[in-house]
Amino acid sequence: MNTEKEINLSDYTYSLPDERIAKYPLDKRDLSKLLHYHKGVIEHKKFKEIEELIPDHSTLFFNNTKVIPARLIFHKSTGAQIEIFLLKPISPSPILSVVMEERETVIWECMIGNFKKWKDDIPLMRDLILGDKNIILQASIHDREKRQIKFSWNDDSISFSEIVEASGKVPLPPYLNRQPEEDDKPRYQTVYSAHDGAVAAPTAGLHFTPEILKSLADRGIKESFLTLHVSAGTFQPIKTENILEHPMHSEQMVVDRQSIQSVVEAQNSIIAIGTTSMRTLESLYWFGVRLMHGDEGFAIEKLEPYQSQQKAARSEAFSAILEWMDRNNLNQIIGTTEIFIFPGYQFRVCDGLITNFHQPGSTLILLVAAFIGEDWRKVYHEADINGYRFLSYGDSSFLLPK
């Protein structure tokens, strides 16, 4: 694809009245509506019927990241509130699983509300109670220009994960325009979440229940789990009319050998549960292509798929990853991706996608348009006239273009 050609944002917008945005989740996850799109034909279902719609012998890929309560609220002695939103770890490691288990001091890059009111030499303090322990959490400015904040606490038996869980608020999407409530803690989390690190939920997975997962397994549908820690960049609106100029935030991926093997052994459709799983799978393909040509860097750049001159079959690319893991005695790989999927992208791995309905003019609308072409307009029109609920807590779609 010639990435010099402009793709105009105005071609990927639609009208989304505020009343269409789901401000709260349904009480039961699987009672959400499900729009089933298959080869251009649309049917309207309930999500609990998904088990009947998945093609036989398919493999489903779930993102098992766990949302952390990434909004930390501190108050100055004057009473002024400083909100610190965790973005990505800097020290002692950029690897989220390492930082979340740290037990002394961590440094994060953050978004900070009221930052101008926080002076460099004045740390902020919070008292926390964890079980029978009184913990003092301190936040200090490590690097103002880079917005890096150092957190430290007075008990090395307590992990940063426990600190965040005790002190943070659920990072609800800004378009909900409300404060998080107690019920958001379990509902803004998939039932299979496992690894701390996301600051936004992989919302396609919010509809799944243990009963649906069991029914799919009983049918012989295979499941595989991978991890992409969703960043706050997922909410960043595109502000450039030429979408190619939009900066994509890097997101961390953690994938084990079993997931790579599942792609190689897939007997039928590979179905991504959510755009985060899709981005991970497609990024892995490009990592495999890199390895086939001697490049071991697992950091997929924004426009790499459009600029690469290399091609490979899906099984070849993923087999290359397995061979590289064998040579390096690895059971797990950790990388980053900025992959930007927009119309013109050729999908290398994914045959189907389960996803919610996304914001107008967003990177996720562009991904859907890349996957099903101009029919994205038909899908969104049908959802609108049939009363679907939109965005993170809204209804779902199952897209099978072939």
β-strand 81-91 against 105-113: which pairing, if any?
antiparallel
Residue 260: C-alpha distances to residues 121, 243, 316 (Å): 48, 31, 11
Distance, CA of 325 to CA of 1 (rounded, Å): 31
- pLDDT at position 231 over 90: no
Q: Residue-wise over 31-43: b if at least 16 C-beta within 10 A, else e?
A: ebbbbbbeeeebe
Q: How confident is the model at residue 4 (pLDDT cuts 50, 70, 90)?
A: low
Find, among 6, 104, 12, 7, the residue nearest to 376 by Cα. Answer: 12
Q: What is the mean pLDDT of residues 162-182?
A: 92
Q: Are 398 and 43 in contact (CB under 8 A)?
A: no
Statement: residue 20 has pLDDT above 70: yes
Q: What is the pLDDT of residue 131?
A: 85
In this predicted structure, what is the pLDDT of residue 283? 98
Average pLDDT across the chain, whole number: 94
What's this model's pTM, rounded to 2 decimal places? 0.94
Cα separation, 235 vs 175, whole angstroms: 9
Q: Confidence class of residue 240 from pLDDT cuts 50, 70 and 90? A: confident
238 pLDDT tier (thresholds 50, 70, 90): confident
CA distance 87 to 356: 23
pLDDT range class, residue 81, cuts 50, 70, 90: very high
The whole-angstrom separation of Cα 270 and Cα 373 is 19
pLDDT at 185 (0 to 100): 92
Mean pLDDT of 277-284: 98
The angle, 0 to 180 degrees and rounded to 10, between the axes of the packed helices 314-327 and 275-292 is: 70
How many other β-carbons are positioned within 10 Å of the β-carbon of residue 227?
Answer: 28
> Residues 33-42: what's their mean pLDDT?
97
pLDDT tens digits, one per residue of 39-78: 999 999 999 999 999 999 999 999 999 999 999 999 998 8
Question: Residue 3 above 60 pLDDT?
Answer: no
Is the model's pLDDT at 358 over the cut of 60?
A: yes
SS3 132: coil
- Residues 6+ away with beta carbon under 8 Å from 353: 271, 272, 274, 275, 278, 368, 371, 398, 399
The β-bridge relationship of strands 59-63 and 270-273 is parallel
Checking if the pLDDT of 137 tops 70, the result is yes
Each residue of 82-106: pLDDT tens digit? Answer: 999 999 999 999 999 999 999 999 9
Residues 6+ apart with CB under 8 A from 62: 190, 192, 205, 208, 223, 224, 225, 226, 273, 274, 277
pLDDT above 60: residue 182: yes
Q: Is the pLDDT of residue 284 over 90?
A: yes
Higher pLDDT, 4 or 135: 135
pLDDT at 5 > cutoff 70: no
